[in-house]
Structure 1
Amino acid sequence: MEQQTILSEIASDTLRGLSAENKFLLSKYFYDDEGSRIFQEIMQMPEYYLTDCEFEIFTNQYEEIINAFKEGVNGFDLIELGAGDGFKTSILLKQIVKTSISSQYIPVDISAKANAITNII
């Protein structure tokens, strides 16, 4: 995409978001590499409880999750939107690898750096 087109899109998206009754900015503008790094730091804070909850679910419930995938399928694709660094999902992936289930992990993230990291997993 041409730089002028990109700048025009950013301006249009920003104007739309800041003109709305409930102001917003699209997340694609703050999850660049630096925004992704900052969010990783936020996820490590005790006040951000969601990371711990997700970690606990994958740690304690992975058998139930895997069993749900096993029923009536020969394999599956695990598509993770907003994969980030893939740390939490790696817990589940390590357990899936131990089974005979055919699977493919497809991480999707707006940050190019996060995509590069999760594609290594």
Structure 2
Amino acid sequence: MSTTHPPIFLIVLSIKCRTCLPCDEEDKKRFIFRPEAIQSDCKVCVTAESEYAGYKMEGRACMQTCPTSSKAEPTAPGIQNNVACCYKDMCNCQSKRGSKISLFHLVTLVAIIIWRLLAH
């Protein structure tokens, strides 16, 4: 998934993002960590995807910063992780593919979403 860089002059103070975990209808039949929703007060919309042994799970979130892969955290063998960040209203409504993100960042995204669910 590709990362879109934030605009140089960010005039908008907040944007709306789609949130869900998982986002695929087939996965929703098995479990839901975060129901489908539209969340405001976001600085960046994130789409994260993890794949292992042919099984994929996609999540979308509203965050204050884009998770980066600047640190070299080890990823478990066989697991492929991707993330995309965008900075416009509802820009994470469709799947995007591109650069990889470590499992650490995907787990962090999932933990933040679960924490927000428990906090409300």
Q: Aligning the two structures, in what range does the TM-score lie when normalised by the shorter sequence?
A: under 0.3
Higher relative contact order (CA 8 A, sep 6+): 2
TM-score (norm 1): 0.22
TM-score (norm 2): 0.22
* Structure having the larger proportion of residues in helix: 1
